[in-house]
Structure 1
């Protein structure tokens, strides 16, 4: 039997009408045109090839020759000649590579298009990221076959400045992205560090780190100034960006960095780190800094400092900072620390307790500090557990504040936790002596003015307990006089020209003590005690300086410090203090009353601040919302202190919704016939909750629509 008969027999066995063919052949409804194919010169020569392809192709019909790959992909008729091979007319016309492969399989158009779209999206994202990181995109590169994507800091020891997905082998991206350099090219500004949309150059980072270590680090000297910014970033991104945020508070070269970071990027990085259950030693350092200089906020309900302080202390104890010589007890692996590492951990643990005490005292909450053997004072001992003189003095001051808070405001037999009058009077005498000894010991060391300011703040913290006494308490007026001296001494030191940097770069705790001192002055000067003040004008001048100082500590328009300053101004102007009623002559009898006693008594020494706001709200509710006449609302514009008046050309027009002031035709200010507190968030609810002592202050209270300071009413 010859070859043709064999082929014929095979073809007959695979007739389209046979049962096997009927079961296996796919049903395809399309026109078939075989004209000219049977007589193709390559038909006989390709018979052996067709026979070998019967099994993998599942039994082809007889007489149908194979089309090229391109035509098979498109399911089109193909006139390719297999022997001798001649490309089909379609491939010739479209300049396609015409070939026939036995293992060729069609690719679905939809899936192919979807993959192409994904690839295009990925490449576009890579290009966008490369642009954001300082690369120059060459849309039509002259030599795209040899172009490479190079990092501007290719020789850097760290790769954090570039996205690894953009490095090296992505041919599509490297064919589009090149760094223009030399000749007619110019190097674009590249950003070495990026957090979401906040991008910094190497020059920005160097300037910000210099700013931090020059002005902020002296308040908490526990970081290494000689360490490079790159190393801080490698230790933890949160620590790096926290330093950047703090340094940007007064950084004039790029004043928008703080706003850009606090608008979301740093918050997300912070809470993402906290949500991952931080067990990093460097996260604890970052939390110490964040709790000392919180991100600016205009409302205390959005201030997470008290919560973050608790996270800081729990994270610190979780990694064994309170037992630095036995760190392996808190680790899955054996940890051996050298002397420097051990000392650094002891220092960080001391700073954690200082910060925790500041947060407790400043917010009027129980402090989460832990003073034990690790932080015990060891006179004359020199070793890894010995702190620097500055930190040791600061730690002694905060331990004193902790003792005052726990003894005076942690009475288990009182529902508000306040010690009784007799017990508190006895404690006051004891702590006065302790403070004098502490003051003598610290001042003899001739330490920095920062330590002295915190020492004065501790005296204010102690003496503010005088507002808890009743008028019948023995030595009541003497305690108030001690409070007056403590407040004025603290403010005088803070306002010295040599301490200007302390006020400008002050911590959140010092800002809170400044506010408490301002409320103390206001409360004392509007009461019977004003007659006991020898120089009332000095007190008035000091109060004006305090208002300006609180405004100066503001880092953003309408932040909490700014709003507090405006609130105190409103309270001062509403007090209507008459100078004739505050003069005192020897022999005059002072009528002591209980007007200075506090109703809010659950916030430790800071109860004064919350009580003052509570009373302010209560007074204006009693007068009725919107019932003050225009003369009262504009009373603060008469007899003004010229030193507190802002430049007239800096006063923006107030919108009519403010209610209290409206722009005149000549852009001046005129009083509108409404309350000076109209439009300040009271709303129309007659059951408005005026004060909740468990919540923060100023929530929904004030929303100042102006960006210039309100003037103080003259005496």
Structure 2
């Protein structure tokens, strides 16, 4: 083929009617040819031949005097008019006062990587500045407005009040002289972890983590005890500080840590993390812990556990924890999990459902659980989807609670969601048999007492439906007797000497079930049921122990647990005094006084109903003063208003052989009091209406006890320690 034919072919390929891809293909070829040569052209470089001609004549070498751009222009990919011989700086470097030079080994630096390194350097410097400020140094600006760190000695306020151990040069000399004379010198404290004003040393953190894994982690064993605190902090700050806050609830070395964290720093960290739409696997773990051991509060309306539980479940499903072997379907990048990582995600998803179910049961709300294929029970299978025996048993118990809640308290044809009497009686027979099978299966494994406590709590959750029955319901007395056995069995297990640690470090759910058991005892013992069916003295002793146990689960003075115990004591005393006016009633008469008015809070309706009655029938009638709730009240106080009652330190839990002397000492009851206590139609615990006033502004009835309608200006003693 001759040269004309080649030229014609090239011209045809560049004709205006040729395809765009063909026209652009030649340009791409030219660029590739230039890159192969390793030379970059610039204006005035001496390349005057046409691009087409250079492409068509590859055998012809380029001119040896080709110029290249300077380093600065190459970095910015700009034209350069540098002159190499004799060397003259380019106009851009002259204008910007840059060093103009040409280096054969120069390589461009990517802007993104350079900016990332600069940001890391800035963050490091900021952390150093904050640490220096925390140690007492102050910021000053010199003449050119450059921040400078000044020794704390230069500022007398810091040198005397902020951190006296930080010294300047003069003080350093004096300290050396002091050491030479045999004096002592205090080394400045190094804080390894800080959250706003909360500062912890490495020793504090190690002690707190040991406290957490020794006493709290057995309730939810899904974290790695072998992992260092620093690694938890690197995973997520909220997970780290949640562990610290939980361990600080009863940490003797520094009891002020919980108060410092709950005062705002952890609260702000929590909600800032939630506000950023968390998509971190470790945030879900932190929310599991916070929902299980929430920060102390004195009101139910200030408790965000139910809201955080919903955030926890949505965040978990958002990152695909419910489909751990298909995590890439919920991620923008491909995710490959090994066996250990897959097992950890399955375990965390199981814990999410356990926590969500306990929140639903304890707060009397529908649970946001999802029991699907991932959490299916696989007996005999050993793999990443197999849970530990403890968590598998807990999951089976919570599944049972979920079934009871959905069938008994989620009736779509009832405005309050409660199943009818006949349907509920049939369900009770079915679930009673299912519970017996579950109990036999779990107890045969000889697991920890924590699992058995939750198993007994599930029985209370099921049996509290007996308060929804009327006296005409078939098996009414049998249901009440079953409730009595469930409550007494739960309390007897908690009050064993070997289980005192469970009460001391109890989860919020165990505390709620303890309160429900106390109100159930109160209601049963002040009704017709206690006259001929059960031993009143045994019930009375259990109630005294329950009051003391609720107070011992209190974390800080005047929190919700402490207030509920005081309210329960006032109801006990008020019902005792009120019942003496109805001694002429037939003790064998069965009435509907045990029925509930509040029926929309599942099994926890008993708790909310009791508080409604306290307000409407006790406080509203003026039987008691607010001063009576300012100190621990004796449940058997003779004074109706409880104003002169004594502290409970040694008299709340009388021994069986001292019951008579205890009763005679305070004059509240006689040895035969259990045969004369009645619950009349007008007593505080009978089923009367709420009154004519229906202008209730608060949805949660517990708020009436712990918020604005009552001016609680407490100064309570510290919670009792130990059993």
TM tier relative to shorter chain: 0.5 to 0.7
**Residue aligning to 1:81:** none
Unaligned runs of 5+ in 2: 1-125, 141-147, 152-165, 180-184, 629-637, 654-692
- 1:597 and 2:595 aligned: yes
Change in Cα spacing, 1:633 to 1:527, as seen in structure 2 (3 Å) is closer
Q: How far did 1:138 drift?
A: 13
Residue segments in structure 1 that go unaligned for 5+ positions in a row: 1-124, 140-146, 151-173, 647-685
User: What is aligned with 1:432?
Assistant: 432
Change in CA separation of 1:239 and 1:591 when aligned onto 2, cut-off 3 Å: same
In structure 1, C-alpha distance between the alignment counterparts of 2:425 and 2:204, rounded to whole Å: 54
Deviations 1:224-283 (A, max 9, x none): 000000000000000000000000000011001001100100000000000000000000
Cα deviation for residue 599 of structure 1 reads 0.5
Equivalent runs, 1:481-496 vs 2, <5 Å: 481-496=481-496
Alignment partners' CA distance in 2, 1:400 and 1:178: 72
1:194-223: per-residue Cα shift (whole Å, max 9, x none)? 000000000000000000000000000000
Aligned length: 517
Could you tell me which residue of structure 1 aligns to residue 328 of structure 2?
Answer: 328
- How many angstroms does 1:551 deviate by? 0.5
Residue pairs, 1:64-463, within 5 angstroms: 129-131=130-132, 133-134=134-135, 183=176, 186-463=186-463
Q: Aligned equivalents of 2:608 and 2:531: distance in 1?
A: 25
**In 2, Cα distance between equivalents of 1:315 and 1:299:** 27
Partner of 1:569: 569
Alpha carbons 1:135, 1:178 under 8 Å: kept: no
**Offset, 1:616:** 1.1
Task: Determine if contact 1:137/1:176 at 8 Å carries over to the other structure.
Answer: no
C-alpha separation in 2, matches of 1:178 and 1:629: 59
| Structure 2 Cα separation of the partners of residues 175 and 515 of structure 1 | 55
Q: What do the CA deviations read for 1:394-451 (whole angstroms, capped 9, x no partner)?
A: 0000000000000001100000000000000000000000000000000000000000
Contact 2:558 2:716 in 1 (8 A): no
> SS of the residue aligned with 2:539?
helix
Contact 2:292–2:507 (8 Å) recurs in 1: yes
- Contact residue 531 and residue 587 of structure 2 kept, 8 A: no
Q: For residues 253 and 353 of structure 1, what CA distance do their matches in structure 2 show?
A: 34
Query: Shift of residue 576 of structure 1?
Result: 1.5
Structure 1 stretches of 4+ moved >2 Å: 125-139, 147-150, 174-187, 577-583, 620-646, 686-711
SS at match of 1:302: coil
Q: Tell me, in whole angstroms, the C-alpha distance in 2 between the residues paired with 1:413 and 1:486.
A: 29
Q: Deviations over 1:317-372 (max 9, x none)?
A: 00000000000000000000000000000000000000000000000000001000
Alpha-carbon deviation of 1:528?
0.8
CA drift at 1:534: 3.1
- Give the drift of 1:643: 2.7
Q: SS state of the match for residue 199, structure 1? A: strand
| Aligned counterparts, 1:620-699, within 5 A | 620=618, 623=621, 634-635=641-642, 637=644, 643-644=650-651, 689=696, 692=699, 698=705, 699=707
Counterpart-to-counterpart distance in 1, 2:646 and 2:246: 39
Give the TM-score taking structure 2 as reference length. Answer: 0.66
| TM-score when normalising by structure 1 | 0.67
Deviations 1:460-518, CA, capped at 9 Å, x for gaps: 00000000000100110110010001000000000111000000000000000000000
In 2, the alpha carbon distance for the partners of 1:230 and 1:131 equals: 21
**Residue in 2 aligned with 1:617?**
615
Q: CA deviation at 1:636?
A: 6.0
Highest CA radius of gyration, 1 or 2? 1
Alpha-carbon spacing, 1:619–1:209, altered in 2? closer, same or farther (3 Å): same
Classify the secondary structure of the residue corresponding to 2:194: strand
**Which whole-Å CA distance do the structure 1 matches of 2:287 and 2:528 have between them?**
44
Q: Give the direction of change, closer, same or farther, for the CA distance of 1:703–1:298 in structure 2 (3 Å limit).
A: farther
- Post-superposition CA distance 1:24-77 (Å, at most 9, x none): xxxxxxxxxxxxxxxxxxxxxxxxxxxxxxxxxxxxxxxxxxxxxxxxxxxxxx
For 2:170 and 2:402, the matched residues in 1 are separated by 61
Distance 1:179 1:402, change over 3 A: farther
* Closer, same or farther: CA 215–149 of 1 in aligned 2, 3 Å: farther
- Per-residue deviation at 1:190? 1.2
Partner Cα distance (2:546, 2:694) in 1: 35
Q: 1:582 to 1:690 in 2, by over 3 A?
A: farther
Q: Alpha-carbon deviation of 1:637?
A: 3.6
| Deviation, structure 1 residue 570 | 1.1
CA distance in 1, matches of 2:242, 2:718: 33
Q: How far apart are residue 618 of structure 1 and its match?
A: 1.2
The residue that corresponds to 2:708 in the other structure is 700
> Secondary structure of the residue that 1:576 maps to in structure 2?
helix
Partner Cα separation in structure 1 for residue 319 and residue 511 of structure 2: 31
Change (3 A) 1:695 1:316: farther
2:301 match: secondary structure = helix
Match of 1:459, SS state, is helix
Offset of residue 625 of structure 1: 8.4
Contact 2:208 2:244 in 1 (8 A): yes
Q: Counterparts of 2:513 and 2:626 in 1: how far apart (Å)?
A: 32
Residue 498 of structure 1 corresponds to which residue in structure 2? Answer: 498
